[in-house]
Amino acid sequence: LPVPHPSEALAGGRLTVDLDAIAANWRTLSENLRDGTECGATVKANAYGTGLAETAERLSQEGCRTFFVALPEEALHLRETLPDATIYVLDGLFPGTAETYAAANLRPVLNSVPEIEEWSAYCRTANTALPAAIHIDTGMNRLGLLPEMFAQVMADNYLTGPFTPCLLVSHLACGATPDHPLNRIQLDTFRAATADFPDIPKSLANSAGVFLGPDYHFDIARPGISLFGGKALDPGANPMSPVVCVEARILMVRDVAESKTIGYGGVETATRTMRLAIVAAGYADGFMRRAGSSDKRPGGFGWLDGHRLPIVGRISMDMMALDVTDVPETVARHGVFVELLGPNVAASDLAIYAETIDYEYLTGLGRRFHRRYGPLDTPEGRS
């Protein structure tokens, strides 16, 4: 369930989500799909940190009709917001929950023979051919049926006859790397496995798959990270609009003499007299400790009034230090908000310093921030 967020005056930072930018990204993705391919939306993990109810409602207004979540609990919350949407549960059918799925009109993505057996048994008992997707593992080696087992299951009318297979799904393991040979292997495997079922819709493309070209699009795409401004493909520019801006309050501006160390562990030493802005955000707010800096390696950065502000020293639980030596004192001052992620600080850029991916940044943000919805047009430096 959503937790209340503090007022702006009482929060160390604020998180702005631009729902119109999410809708614009969905339109961009839709326009990149071949004719006849539906653009769904993957809104798991609280819509990648942007707010499940708010984001799903805006996407529905834009024309999205099919949504994918990970967990049944997420699906139930989503159903409260969108009573008529098609909702798939990617993590499958949890034991003993078929009646709950059916009552809420949720579609499990059946990932194993035991799940198929349980859904089939429930449908047989209820005398209702309820819809469900079936997941084929084409090379991820995570969830799903291997192609040989999928063929056996589909040939067994006792297993599949009582319900309606409404979608055949697989998932790309290396889609972010367009030239990776596994992409073509998975595509060919998926085509071969599903060739005998031309009337059942199919889905292979996640965000990366949308940009791999029409061969990967099939009947429905299910983008996630790209909706939220993330970078789907490793090479090239990111065509998506940013949708989130995180700003943290400057708690103090202080001078540090040359040769003094900064922060826990004394891992970074001032090479000149420095001015540091101590801001109210740390790893408890999703800003990963690995993105801190030391004498041996640079770290991430913030942004204020056209100035790039390098992180200095380790990121601690509740705060971090930013170098504002070259920023006018009238700009970097107590109470001013500094951008830590947003139009000038991409999550994919921060992820490089933290040795992770932008997914982890987006889904981990905002537990203590004041949350608001609107355009990302906050004037820089406004206190």
Name the active-site residue from 44, 101, 353, 361: 44
Owning domain of residue 203? 19-228
Same domain, 208 and 312: no
Count, residues in the chain: 383
**Residue 22, class by beta-carbon neighbours within 10 Å (0-12 exposed, 13-18 middle, 19+ buried)?**
buried
Residue 323 counted as domain residue? yes
Report the domain count for the chain: 2
Domain boundary among the residues 173, 204, 228 is at 228
Same domain, 72 and 33: yes
Cα–Cα distance, 316 to 7 (Å, whole number): 23
**What does each C-alpha distance from 299 to 126, 224, 320, 348, 379 come to in angstroms?**
58, 27, 11, 14, 25
Residue 115 counted as domain residue? yes
Name the active-site residue from 88, 264, 283, 373: 264
Domain boundary among the residues 228, 258, 284 is at 228
Same domain, 223 and 257: no
pLDDT at 380: 46
Question: Tens-of-pLDDT digits for all 383 residues of the chain?
Answer: 455 667 888 999 999 999 999 999 999 999 999 999 999 999 999 999 999 999 999 999 999 999 999 999 999 999 999 999 999 999 999 999 999 999 999 999 999 999 999 999 999 999 999 999 999 999 999 999 999 999 999 999 999 999 999 999 999 999 999 999 999 999 999 999 999 999 999 999 999 999 999 999 999 999 999 999 999 999 999 999 999 999 999 999 999 999 999 999 999 999 999 999 999 999 999 999 999 999 999 999 999 999 999 999 999 999 999 999 999 999 999 999 999 999 999 998 899 999 999 889 888 887 789 999 999 964 444 33
Same domain, 48 and 100: yes
**202 flagged as catalytic:** no
Residue 6 counted as domain residue? no
Same domain, 209 and 265: no
Domain boundary among the residues 228, 262, 292 is at 228
CATH code of the domain covering residue 224: 3.20.20.10
Which distant-in-sequence residues (6+ apart) come within 8 Å of 195 by Cβ?
Answer: none
Residue 3 counted as domain residue? no
CATH code of the domain covering residue 347: 2.40.37.10
2 C-beta neighbours (distance < 10 Å), count: 11
Same domain, 196 and 260: no
Same domain, 80 and 188: yes
**264 flagged as catalytic:** yes
Same domain, 293 and 223: no
| CB 189, CB 139: distance < 8 Å | yes
Same domain, 283 and 213: no
Residue 14 counted as domain residue? no
Cα–Cα distance, 250 to 338 (Å, whole number): 7
At residue 381, the 3 state secondary structure works out as coil
Same domain, 277 and 369: yes
Same domain, 183 and 276: no
Same domain, 164 and 296: no
181 C-beta neighbours (distance < 10 Å), count: 9
Residue 2 counted as domain residue? no
Residue 345 counted as domain residue? yes
Residue 171 counted as domain residue? yes
